[in-house]
Amino acid sequence: MGKRVGVLMGGWGEEREISLKTGEAVVAALETLGHTVTRVFAGPGLDRALRAADIDVAFLALHGRMGEDGRVQGLLELLEIPYTGSGVLASALAMDKPMAKKLFQLHNLASPQGYRVAREDAERALELHGDSGFPCVVKPAKGGSSVGLSVVHDAGALVPAVVQACRFGGEALVERFVQGQEVTVGILGDSVLGSCEVSYPREGFDYEAKYKGGGAQYFLPPRLSDTRRVNVESLALAAYRALGCRGYGRVDLMCSDTENDVVLEVNTLPGFTPTSLLPKIAARAGLDFPALVQGVLDRATRDESHVAEAAPLAPTAPVPLRVAR
């Protein structure tokens, strides 16, 4: 029996255009599956729009800040509306890349060495960089779709790259550049769907390559030995679990030329556009686009954090105030 599904799309940030494409693709699939669909455009007044929508469940087609970072998830928790994807804490942790790196380290999961730079410290980036060396990757500390990402080859380009990255959220993450193959792993529920290698003609799988026909090539499965591919997929699932993710996700990694594999980031709301990677991975695993959308919808839930009823406190005698002399 079909559900009343609200597809949340749009949003506040620089990834609005991609969110709208994801949303429309999801709407078409849900309608094909027999669900009653309402488009809910995220922005100011979202709480009122959700109350007016009269939905059973929210399908989050949002990307980036104010959509993928736990804030919309928190609103849905307060409104008691089940939603797709990870919960409040996992969403916030995954979006905050430096914080996610700390969790990876805590779980002994390899990630490129890096440091955070706040906007007010951007002009001190060279001082903070110290002997970290070049090339390095500079990107927003909280963001997605490779918006604001730069590969920096020399000291003269570092400060401008940090200033550019800080335009998107106020903080930059500077990481050691890892030479190798970029691999992304798709996860549905708590199982790996498969993996895909992304190859592109210039450094960095940037916004242009992802969404505007920038010459990217995709290899399913990745051009790795079977043993290494299984290890990479296991590393991805461990990173997803380390952040407490649920529902579905996509984990990006670098498989270095020196046979070391490192986690770059966990995407809690990966794209569902015609060029998006998770649908490609799912298709190779035997799930067409509507089946993938249904699989994500079936796993919609809430954190279900209820405050237990506490027994009334017994009255206590007042504690006398002591004045220091």
Catalytic positions, written as ranges: 15, 145, 276
C-alpha 248/C-alpha 84 separation (Å) is 8
For residue 218, give both structure tokens: 């995709």
Q: Is-contact 60 84, C-beta < 8 A?
A: yes
Residue 121 in marked binding region: no
Going by C-alpha positions, the residue among 211, 86, 198 that lies closest to residue 145 is 211
For residue 23, give both structure tokens: 């949303």
C-alpha 177/C-alpha 137 separation (Å) is 6
Residue 252 in marked binding region: yes
Compute the residue count for the chain: 325
C-alpha 183/C-alpha 195 separation (Å) is 7
Q: Is-contact 61 19, C-beta < 8 A?
A: yes
Single-letter residue type at 169: G
C-alpha 38/C-alpha 16 separation (Å) is 18
Phi-psi region of 215 (alpha: psi -120 to 50; beta: other; left: phi over 0): left
Output b/e per residue, 10-34; b: 16+ Cβ within 10 A.
bbbbbbbebbbbbbbbbbebbeebe
Single-letter residue type at 118: A
Residue 260 in marked binding region: no
Element (DSSP H or E) covering residue 277 = helix 277-284
Handedness of CA 272, 277, 278, 282 (dihedral sign): positive
* Binding site residue list for Mg(2+): 252, 265, 267
* Binding site residue list: 252, 265, 267
